[in-house]
């Protein structure tokens, strides 16, 4: 019960942040461009620390995605986790008195 509430709160946080990033960031900004704005050496550090196959096949596709897509995806995953943890538990019903 508490885990579903935590995941629901995380989902709301990530989805609101994705909308805020999409509204405030320049149109078409990718994750790689956003990381370059924060710190210019971050991308080169990632490339140096990763094996070449990992950078090409795993990390580069994420860096080419829109900046808002990563928090939106994490928010959808958290929303699904909250819904699946809460599935099957009916809310307490009120009994009618006659």
pLDDT beyond 60 at 39: yes
- Residue 66: strand pairing partners: 30
Cβ-contact 37, 26 below 8 angstroms? no
Write the burial class of residue 77 (CB in 10 Å: 0-12 exposed, 13-18 middle, 19+ buried): middle
User: Any bridge partners for residue 75, and if so which?
Assistant: none
Each residue's pLDDT tens digit, 64-81: 999 999 999 999 999 999
Three-state DSSP class for residue 30:
strand
Question: φ, ψ for residue 47 (rounded to 5)?
Answer: -65, -35
Domain ranges of the chain: 1-27+68-89, 30-65
- For the chain, the straight-line distance linking the first and the last C-alpha, in angstroms and rounded, comes to 32
Q: Compute the distance between CA of residue 69 and CA of residue 14 in angstroms, rounded to an integer.
A: 10
pLDDT band at 63; cut points 50, 70, 90: very high
8 Å CB contact between 47 and 55: yes
pTM of the model: 0.76
């Amino acid at each position: 019960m508490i885990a579903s509430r935590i995941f629901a709160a995380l989902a709301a946080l990530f989805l609101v942040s994705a909308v805020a990033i999409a509204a405030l960031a320049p149109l078409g900004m990718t994750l790689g461009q956003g990381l370059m704005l924060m710190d210019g050496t971050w991308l080169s550090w990632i490339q140096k620390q990763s094996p070449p196959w990992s950078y090409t096949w795993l990390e580069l596709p994420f860096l080419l995605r829109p900046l808002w897509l990563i928090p939106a995806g994490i928010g959808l995953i958290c929303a699904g986790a909250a819904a699946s943890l809460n599935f099957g538990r009916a809310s307490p019903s009120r009994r009618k008195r006659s």
